[in-house]
Protein backbone atom coordinates (compact mmCIF):
# COMPACT_ATOMS: atom_id res chain seq x y z
CA UNK A 1 0.00 0.00 0.00
CA UNK A 2 0.91 3.40 -0.52
CA UNK A 3 2.95 5.16 1.42
CA UNK A 4 5.25 3.00 -0.50
CA UNK A 5 5.58 3.44 -2.64
CA UNK A 6 5.48 5.19 -4.62
CA UNK A 7 7.31 6.60 -4.36
CA UNK A 8 13.37 9.49 -1.76
CA UNK A 9 16.32 11.65 -0.85
CA UNK A 10 17.71 15.15 -0.46
CA UNK A 11 20.37 16.72 -2.65
CA UNK A 12 20.82 20.31 -3.80
CA UNK A 13 22.23 20.55 -7.34
CA UNK A 14 22.00 22.75 -10.40
CA UNK A 15 19.17 22.63 -12.95
CA UNK A 16 19.35 21.54 -16.60
CA UNK A 17 17.16 23.30 -19.21
CA UNK A 18 14.30 21.30 -20.70
CA UNK A 19 15.32 19.75 -23.98
CA UNK A 20 18.60 21.62 -23.85
CA UNK A 21 20.77 18.54 -23.86
CA UNK A 22 20.52 15.90 -26.54
CA UNK A 23 22.75 13.59 -24.57
CA UNK A 24 24.06 13.82 -21.02
CA UNK A 25 27.67 13.24 -20.08
CA UNK A 26 28.38 10.94 -17.13
CA UNK A 27 28.88 13.95 -14.85
CA UNK A 28 25.65 15.57 -16.05
CA UNK A 29 23.84 12.26 -15.61
CA UNK A 30 25.06 11.94 -12.03
CA UNK A 31 24.03 15.50 -11.16
CA UNK A 32 20.66 15.28 -12.86
CA UNK A 33 19.74 12.00 -11.13
CA UNK A 34 20.78 13.46 -7.79
CA UNK A 35 18.69 16.55 -8.48
CA UNK A 36 15.73 14.31 -9.23
CA UNK A 37 16.27 12.61 -5.90
CA UNK A 38 15.90 15.98 -4.17
CA UNK A 39 12.58 16.45 -5.93
CA UNK A 40 11.40 13.03 -4.77
CA UNK A 41 12.28 13.94 -1.20
CA UNK A 42 9.91 16.90 -1.46
CA UNK A 43 7.16 14.64 -2.81
CA UNK A 44 7.74 12.17 0.02
CA UNK A 45 7.48 14.89 2.67
CA UNK A 46 4.16 16.16 1.31
CA UNK A 47 2.49 12.78 0.60
CA UNK A 48 0.75 12.51 4.04
CA UNK A 49 -1.05 15.79 3.31
CA UNK A 50 -3.29 14.01 0.80
CA UNK A 51 -6.15 11.54 1.05
CA UNK A 52 -6.66 9.37 -2.03
CA UNK A 53 -8.42 6.40 -3.60
CA UNK A 54 -6.72 3.06 -4.14
CA UNK A 55 -7.66 0.02 -6.21
CA UNK A 56 -5.84 -3.23 -5.40
CA UNK A 57 -5.93 -6.02 -7.96
CA UNK A 58 -5.71 -9.58 -6.62
CA UNK A 59 -6.30 -13.06 -8.01
CA UNK A 60 -9.86 -12.76 -6.67
CA UNK A 61 -10.67 -9.40 -8.33
CA UNK A 62 -10.31 -5.76 -7.29
CA UNK A 63 -10.87 -3.82 -4.07
CA UNK A 64 -11.27 -0.05 -4.16
CA UNK A 65 -10.75 1.91 -0.93
CA UNK A 66 -10.89 5.50 0.18
CA UNK A 67 -7.69 6.17 2.14
CA UNK A 68 -8.14 8.80 4.85
CA UNK A 69 -5.34 10.24 6.95
CA UNK A 70 -6.86 10.21 10.44
CA UNK A 71 -4.93 11.51 13.44
CA UNK A 72 -1.52 10.88 11.91
CA UNK A 73 -1.91 7.55 10.08
CA UNK A 74 -4.00 6.22 7.17
CA UNK A 75 -7.32 4.37 7.41
CA UNK A 76 -8.61 2.25 4.51
CA UNK A 77 -12.36 2.42 3.97
CA UNK A 78 -13.61 -0.19 1.47
CA UNK A 79 -15.98 1.34 -1.11
CA UNK A 80 -16.18 -1.13 -4.04
CA UNK A 81 -15.49 -4.74 -4.96
CA UNK A 82 -14.74 -5.59 -8.60
CA UNK A 83 -15.87 -2.11 -9.60
CA UNK A 84 -19.30 -2.59 -8.06
CA UNK A 85 -20.80 -0.78 -5.06
CA UNK A 86 -21.02 -2.73 -1.82
CA UNK A 87 -24.32 -4.36 -0.84
CA UNK A 88 -26.32 -2.05 1.48
CA UNK A 89 -25.56 -4.06 4.61
CA UNK A 90 -21.81 -4.10 3.94
CA UNK A 91 -21.84 -0.41 3.03
CA UNK A 92 -23.48 0.38 6.38
CA UNK A 93 -20.82 -1.68 8.17
CA UNK A 94 -18.01 0.22 6.43
CA UNK A 95 -19.57 3.57 7.32
CA UNK A 96 -19.88 2.48 10.95
CA UNK A 97 -16.28 1.22 11.06
CA UNK A 98 -14.96 4.52 9.71
CA UNK A 99 -16.97 6.50 12.26
CA UNK A 100 -15.75 4.21 15.05
CA UNK A 101 -12.14 4.55 13.91
CA UNK A 102 -12.41 8.34 13.94
CA UNK A 103 -13.86 8.30 17.45
CA UNK A 104 -11.31 5.81 18.76
CA UNK A 105 -8.34 7.74 17.40
CA UNK A 106 -9.71 11.03 18.73
CA UNK A 107 -9.94 9.50 22.22
CA UNK A 108 -6.53 7.80 22.27
CA UNK A 109 -4.06 8.61 24.98
CA UNK A 110 -0.85 10.32 23.93
CA UNK A 111 1.01 7.03 24.35
CA UNK A 112 -1.49 5.08 22.20
CA UNK A 113 -1.40 7.67 19.44
CA UNK A 114 2.38 7.88 19.52
CA UNK A 115 2.68 4.10 19.15
CA UNK A 116 0.27 3.97 16.20
CA UNK A 117 1.83 6.91 14.38
CA UNK A 118 5.34 5.61 15.07
CA UNK A 119 4.53 2.36 13.28
CA UNK A 120 3.28 4.27 10.24
CA UNK A 121 6.33 6.53 10.27
CA UNK A 122 8.63 3.52 10.59
CA UNK A 123 7.20 2.06 7.40
CA UNK A 124 7.57 5.41 5.65
CA UNK A 125 11.16 5.76 6.80
CA UNK A 126 11.99 2.27 5.51
CA UNK A 127 10.60 3.15 2.10
CA UNK A 128 12.39 6.48 2.16
CA UNK A 129 15.72 4.92 3.06
CA UNK A 130 15.47 2.37 0.25
CA UNK A 131 14.88 5.05 -2.36
CA UNK A 132 17.29 7.45 -0.69
CA UNK A 133 20.06 4.91 -1.18
CA UNK A 134 19.23 4.38 -4.84
CA UNK A 135 21.64 6.99 -6.20
CA UNK A 136 24.44 5.66 -3.99
CA UNK A 137 23.80 2.00 -4.75
CA UNK A 138 23.42 2.37 -8.51
CA UNK A 139 25.51 3.58 -11.41
CA UNK A 140 23.29 5.47 -13.86
CA UNK A 141 23.91 5.58 -17.60
CA UNK A 142 22.14 7.95 -19.97
CA UNK A 143 20.19 6.01 -22.62
CA UNK A 144 18.03 8.43 -24.60
CA UNK A 145 15.61 11.35 -24.67
CA UNK A 146 12.02 10.45 -25.46
CA UNK A 147 8.37 11.27 -24.83
CA UNK A 148 6.44 9.38 -22.17
CA UNK A 149 2.78 10.36 -22.39
CA UNK A 150 2.73 14.14 -22.17
CA UNK A 151 6.23 14.35 -20.71
CA UNK A 152 9.63 14.88 -22.32
CA UNK A 153 11.94 12.58 -20.36
CA UNK A 154 15.50 11.42 -20.04
CA UNK A 155 15.88 7.65 -19.80
CA UNK A 156 18.63 6.13 -17.64
CA UNK A 157 19.77 2.56 -17.03
CA UNK A 158 20.83 1.64 -13.49
CA UNK A 159 23.26 -1.12 -12.53
CA UNK A 160 24.67 -2.04 -9.10
CA UNK A 161 27.74 -0.12 -7.95
CA UNK A 162 30.34 -2.77 -6.88
CA UNK A 163 31.68 -0.61 -4.05
CA UNK A 164 28.26 0.02 -2.47
CA UNK A 165 28.00 -0.96 1.21
CA UNK A 166 24.30 -1.26 2.27
CA UNK A 167 23.64 0.55 5.57
CA UNK A 168 20.66 -1.64 6.53
CA UNK A 169 18.93 -4.95 5.95
CA UNK A 170 16.30 -3.28 3.74
CA UNK A 171 18.89 -1.79 1.39
CA UNK A 172 20.69 -5.11 0.86
CA UNK A 173 18.34 -5.85 -2.03
CA UNK A 174 19.81 -2.95 -4.04
CA UNK A 175 23.08 -4.87 -4.47
CA UNK A 176 21.36 -7.41 -6.72
CA UNK A 177 19.10 -5.15 -8.78
CA UNK A 178 19.20 -3.39 -12.10
CA UNK A 179 16.63 -1.01 -13.50
CA UNK A 180 15.55 1.83 -15.75
CA UNK A 181 14.43 5.32 -14.73
CA UNK A 182 12.46 7.88 -16.73
CA UNK A 183 12.81 11.48 -15.45
CA UNK A 184 11.01 14.53 -16.81
CA UNK A 185 13.55 16.91 -18.29
CA UNK A 186 12.17 20.22 -17.02
CA UNK A 187 11.03 19.34 -13.49
CA UNK A 188 13.31 16.35 -12.70
CA UNK A 189 10.22 14.48 -11.52
CA UNK A 190 10.33 10.70 -11.78
CA UNK A 191 7.77 9.57 -14.35
CA UNK A 192 8.43 5.83 -14.28
CA UNK A 193 10.75 3.36 -12.58
CA UNK A 194 11.31 -0.29 -13.47
CA UNK A 195 13.64 -2.61 -11.56
CA UNK A 196 14.36 -6.29 -11.21
CA UNK A 197 16.55 -8.57 -9.10
CA UNK A 198 19.22 -10.17 -11.27
CA UNK A 199 21.14 -12.08 -8.62
CA UNK A 200 20.09 -13.62 -5.27
CA UNK A 201 20.39 -11.31 -2.27
CA UNK A 202 20.39 -12.58 1.31
CA UNK A 203 18.47 -10.49 3.86
CA UNK A 204 17.07 -10.84 7.38
CA UNK A 205 20.27 -12.19 8.84
CA UNK A 206 20.58 -14.70 6.00
CA UNK A 207 17.30 -16.34 6.97
CA UNK A 208 15.71 -15.23 3.71
CA UNK A 209 16.89 -14.60 0.19
CA UNK A 210 15.34 -12.47 -2.53
CA UNK A 211 15.53 -14.39 -5.80
CA UNK A 212 15.83 -13.35 -9.47
CA UNK A 213 12.39 -12.87 -10.94
CA UNK A 214 11.54 -10.24 -8.32
CA UNK A 215 10.59 -7.06 -10.16
CA UNK A 216 8.68 -3.88 -9.58
CA UNK A 217 7.35 -0.93 -11.53
CA UNK A 218 6.22 2.52 -10.40
CA UNK A 219 4.44 5.21 -12.42
CA UNK A 220 4.12 8.72 -11.03
CA UNK A 221 1.90 11.63 -12.08
CA UNK A 222 1.29 15.24 -10.93
CA UNK A 223 -1.10 15.92 -8.05
CA UNK A 224 -0.23 19.61 -8.07
CA UNK A 225 2.25 21.37 -10.38
CA UNK A 226 4.95 20.85 -7.75
CA UNK A 227 3.94 17.55 -6.11
CA UNK A 228 3.91 14.26 -8.02
CA UNK A 229 2.74 11.07 -6.31
CA UNK A 230 2.42 7.39 -7.30
CA UNK A 231 -0.25 6.47 -9.80
CA UNK A 232 0.45 2.78 -10.39
CA UNK A 233 2.64 0.28 -8.53
CA UNK A 234 3.33 -3.33 -9.43
CA UNK A 235 5.57 -5.88 -7.77
CA UNK A 236 6.23 -9.55 -8.25
CA UNK A 237 8.48 -10.96 -5.55
CA UNK A 238 10.21 -14.29 -5.19
CA UNK A 239 11.92 -15.21 -1.95
CA UNK A 240 13.33 -18.30 -0.30
CA UNK A 241 12.62 -18.38 3.43
CA UNK A 242 15.25 -20.12 5.57
CA UNK A 243 16.34 -21.64 2.24
CA UNK A 244 13.62 -24.28 2.64
CA UNK A 245 10.56 -23.02 0.80
CA UNK A 246 9.73 -20.43 -1.82
CA UNK A 247 7.32 -17.55 -1.35
CA UNK A 248 5.84 -15.79 -4.37
CA UNK A 249 3.67 -12.70 -4.06
CA UNK A 250 2.23 -10.07 -6.38
CA UNK A 251 0.97 -6.52 -5.91
CA UNK A 252 -0.90 -4.37 -8.42
CA UNK A 253 -2.11 -1.08 -6.95
CA UNK A 254 -3.57 2.01 -8.62
CA UNK A 255 -3.82 5.32 -6.76
CA UNK A 256 -6.04 8.16 -7.93
CA UNK A 257 -7.99 11.28 -6.95
CA UNK A 258 -5.51 12.75 -4.47
CA UNK A 259 -7.11 15.60 -2.50
CA UNK A 260 -6.00 17.56 0.59
CA UNK A 261 -6.74 15.86 3.90
CA UNK A 262 -10.36 16.14 4.95
CA UNK A 263 -11.79 16.60 1.46
CA UNK A 264 -12.10 12.98 0.27
CA UNK A 265 -15.44 11.13 0.16
CA UNK A 266 -16.27 7.52 -0.58
CA UNK A 267 -18.63 8.71 -3.34
CA UNK A 268 -15.73 10.47 -5.06
CA UNK A 269 -13.76 7.21 -5.13
CA UNK A 270 -16.73 5.40 -6.65
CA UNK A 271 -17.20 8.09 -9.28
CA UNK A 272 -13.52 8.38 -10.20
CA UNK A 273 -13.13 4.60 -10.30
CA UNK A 274 -16.12 4.34 -12.68
CA UNK A 275 -14.55 6.96 -14.95
CA UNK A 276 -11.36 4.91 -15.14
CA UNK A 277 -13.13 1.71 -16.21
CA UNK A 278 -12.73 0.82 -19.90
* Cβ atoms of residues 101 and 121 within 8 Å: no
* Cβ atoms of residues 256 and 275 within 8 Å: no
Q: What is the DSSP letter of 94?
A: H
Q: What is the DSSP letter of 33?
A: H
- Tell me: the pLDDT tens digits for 166-194? 888 778 888 888 999 999 999 999 999 99
- Tell me: the pLDDT tens digits for 214-236? 888 999 999 999 999 999 999 88
With H, G, I as helix, E, B as strand and everything else as coil, classify residue 211. coil
> How far from 268 is each of 51, 260, 263, 265, CA to CA, in Å?
11, 13, 10, 5
Query: What distance in Å separates the CA atoms of residue 124 and residue 128, rounded to the nearest whole number?
Result: 6
- Tell me: the pLDDT tens digits for 220-278? 999 999 999 999 999 887 665 644 555 567 889 999 999 999 999 999 999 998 887 65
- Tell me: the pLDDT tens digits for 71-101? 999 999 999 999 999 999 999 999 999 999 9
DSSP track, 112-130: HHHHHHHHHHHHHHHHHHH
Averaged pLDDT, 25-53: 93
Query: Does position 155 have pLDDT exceeding 70, yes or no?
Result: yes
Q: What are phi and psi of 103, to 5 degrees?
A: -65, -45
What's the whole-model pTM score? 0.84
Amino acid sequence: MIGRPSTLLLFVLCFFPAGGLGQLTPAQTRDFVRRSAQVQQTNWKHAPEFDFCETDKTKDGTRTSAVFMIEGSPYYRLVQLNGQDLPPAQESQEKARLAAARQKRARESQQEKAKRVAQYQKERQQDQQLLAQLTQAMRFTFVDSETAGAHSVYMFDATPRPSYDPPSMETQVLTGMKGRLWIEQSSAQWVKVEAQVVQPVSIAGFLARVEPGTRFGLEVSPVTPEIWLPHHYTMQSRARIVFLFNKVSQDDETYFHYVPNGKLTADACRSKNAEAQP
